[in-house]
């Protein structure tokens, strides 16, 4: 289980708490959350640049100058505390290595492509077990116990799958520490064990296991390349690091962050360039096949789609009911047409909404149709006999985004809001113009948030 996930969560929670204490708005709240996340990453990895980029890449999902300064300051403070107060050792070190030969970059690219698949297997192991766990008849509190028992039994045989895997990760960067078959075994078991434990409800992050899995995978590729080419394994650590980045970056959806973590941990430009080759292929392949990141897939399954950026997500989660008004004409279906015309004219509205004695919505009629019915002698005498307009209805929890989509096929003044949970009760209307105005206002705010400077 990872420690970084909970750390980042804690950082975000503290950031959000800070925003609540200062009574800041949603946009500033996002920035304080990003600050907390950046500080957590900077402290955990001694990597302030990675912290800053992670906050932008994964949390904010845009680059605004107004967010940069606070996020950078938070990351810097985290870094200073990490290096001076906590004095935690780095995650791993590398000795001075040889520079890879040109053809090896092809191997690094290939590791990227295959790493995306390993990342997919890892993510689907977690998601699959989570789904499976939901169908188990076992009490939720006992599920981690079952996973722990299975894990413990496996670990008696292969202890390398346990814990944070820091030693496993370090050994995997060393040529000759594991045999190829052993690497494959630990790799498969680590994926299975992590999927099992997280899916069954262990608390912990997905990042550290991804680092270990990636490193094992890279080491496996490295030793296979070594066996095939017969070359001395001076660049072994490159393969391990490439595998690490190729798997981690799709899982967290942050290619730049992964690269910067490598750069800030090792200070090796050659290593970062090699990792870049892997990320170049790993990120797009994984994004096409699986989704932007494990977090995005999980959120999407909960109904929050971040694939088109935060702006869309905000519009999707803002309920249209905020703009609900009862400034409309409701008509009883039994109302005579002439009376309805008079009512609408007095209220200066072009549309009336039919609501029966039990408060249920029955349709929408236009003043023009009513007028035509009154003129024709053989026409209907009551409003419920007049043809109703084809008018989509909204629900109280319909989002601004969906309301805007409904508007595309409507010409009229307002959309009725009906609550299906209360037997189709009529709640009021939302004017087309207020939907459009709210949409514009939100877009405007988001654009200010993303491009604003102060």
CA atoms within 13 A on the CB side of 11: 27
State the minimum distance, in angstroms, from the CB of residue 171 to another protein.
6
**Binders of another protein in range 154-183 (CB under 8 A):** 160, 167, 170-171, 174-177
State the minimum distance, in angstroms, from the CB of residue 266 to another protein.
10
Q: Which is nearer to another protein, 159 or 309 (CB)?
A: 159
**Binders of another protein in range 347-376 (CB under 8 A):** none
Q: Which is nearer to another protein, 177 or 185 (CB)?
A: 177
- Of the candidates 204, 266, 274, which has an alpha carbon nearest to the alpha carbon of residue 246? 274
Q: Which is nearer to another protein, 177 or 389 (CB)?
A: 177
State the minimum distance, in angstroms, from the CB of residue 148 to another protein.
22
Q: Which is nearer to another protein, 82 or 373 (CB)?
A: 82
Give CA separation, 349 vs 184, 320, 337, 386, 406, in Å.
73, 21, 15, 17, 21
Interaction of residue 270 with another protein, rule CB under 8 A: no
* Residue 419 φ/ψ, nearest 5 degrees: -105, 100
Residues constituting the chain? 454
State the minimum distance, in angstroms, from the CB of residue 225 to another protein.
17
Tokens standing for 277? 């080759």
Interaction of residue 207 with another protein, rule CB under 8 A: no
Tokens standing for 31? 């920035």
Q: Which is nearer to another protein, 194 or 266 (CB)?
A: 266
State the minimum distance, in angstroms, from the CB of residue 112 to another protein.
24
Residues 6+ apart with CB under 8 A from 429: 324, 325, 326, 327, 328, 353, 414, 415, 416, 417
* Residue 445 φ/ψ, nearest 5 degrees: -65, -45
**Binders of another protein in range 69-98 (CB under 8 A):** 89-90, 92-95
- Of the candidates 357, 351, 253, 342, which has an alpha carbon nearest to the alpha carbon of residue 297? 253
Under rule CB under 8 A, how many of the chain's residues touch another protein? 14
Q: Which is nearer to another protein, 98 or 338 (CB)?
A: 98
Binding site for another protein (CB under 8 A): 89-90, 92-95, 160, 167, 170-171, 174-177
């Amino acid at each position: 289980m990872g420690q970084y996930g909970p750390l980042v969560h804690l950082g975000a929670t503290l950031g959000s708490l800070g925003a609540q204490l200062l009574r800041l708005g949603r946009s500033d709240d996002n920035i304080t959350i990003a600050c907390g996340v950046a500080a957590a990453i900077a402290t955990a990895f001694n990597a302030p640049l990675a912290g800053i980029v992670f906050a932008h890449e994964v949390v904010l999902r845009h680059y605004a100058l107004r967010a940069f300064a606070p996020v950078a300051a938070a990351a810097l403070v985290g870094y200073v505390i990490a290096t001076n107060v906590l004095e935690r050792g780095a995650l791993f070190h590398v000795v001075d290595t040889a520079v890879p030969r040109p053809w090896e970059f092809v191997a690094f690219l290939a590791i990227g492509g295959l790493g995306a698949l390993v990342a997919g297997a890892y993510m689907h192991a977690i998601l699959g077990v989570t789904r499976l766990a939901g169908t188990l008849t076992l009490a939720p509190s006992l599920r981690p116990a079952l996973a722990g028992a299975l894990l413990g039994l496996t670990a008696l045989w292969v202890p390398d799958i346990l814990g944070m895997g820091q030693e496993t990760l370090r050994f995997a960067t060393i040529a000759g520490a594991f045999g190829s078959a052993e690497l494959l075994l630990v790799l498969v078991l680590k994926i299975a064990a992590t999927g099992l434990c997280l899916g069954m409800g262990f608390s912990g992050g997905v990042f550290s296991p991804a680092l270990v899995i990636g490193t094992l995978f890279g080491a496996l590729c490295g030793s296979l390349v070594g066996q095939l080419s017969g070359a001395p394994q001076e660049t072994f650590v490159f393969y391990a690091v490439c595998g690490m980045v190729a798997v981690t970056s799709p899982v967290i959806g942050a290619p730049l962050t992964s690269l910067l973590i490598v750069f800030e941990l090792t200070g090796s430009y050659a290593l970062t360039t090699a990792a870049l080759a892997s990320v170049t292929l790993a990120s797009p392949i994984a994004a096409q096949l699986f989704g932007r990141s494990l977090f995005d897939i999980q959120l999407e399954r909960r109904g929050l789609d971040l694939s088109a950026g935060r702006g869309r997500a905000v519009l999707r989660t803002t309920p249209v009911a905020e703009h609900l008004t009862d400034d409309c004409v409701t008509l009883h279906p039994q109302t005579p047409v002439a009376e309805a015309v008079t009512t609408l004219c007095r209220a200066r509205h072009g549309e009336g909404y039919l609501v029966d004695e039990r408060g249920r919505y029955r349709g929408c009629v236009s003043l023009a149709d009513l007028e035509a019915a009154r003129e024709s002698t053989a026409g209907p005498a009551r409003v419920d006999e007049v043809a109703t307009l084809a008018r989509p209805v909204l629900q109280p929890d319909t989002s601004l985004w969906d309301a805007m989509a409904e508007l595309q096929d409507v010409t009229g003044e307002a959309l009725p809001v009906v609550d299906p949970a209360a037997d189709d009760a009529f709640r009021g209307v939302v004017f087309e113009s207020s939907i459009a105005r709210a949409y514009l206002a939100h877009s405007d705010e988001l654009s200010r948030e993303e491009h604003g400077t102060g």
